Amino acid sequence: MDALDKSVKLGDAVEKLRNIPGFSKLTAKLEKESKEILKDTEEKVAQAISTVAKDGTGTNL
Residues spanned by the domain of 7: 2-55
Per-residue pLDDT for 53 more than 80?
A: yes
Residue 60 resides in a domain = no
pLDDT in tens, 9-34: 877 887 887 788 888 888 888 788 87
Q: How many CA atoms lie within 13 A of 21 on its CB side?
A: 0
pTM of structure: 0.56
Q: How many domains does the chain have?
A: 1
Residue 49 resides in a domain = yes
Residue 30 neighbours by CB under 8 Å, 6+ apart: 10, 13, 14, 17
Residue 33 resides in a domain = yes
| Residue 1 pLDDT | 63
Residue 61 resides in a domain = no
pLDDT in tens, 28-46: 887 888 788 889 989 998 9
Give the pLDDT band of residue 58 (cuts 50, 70, 90). low
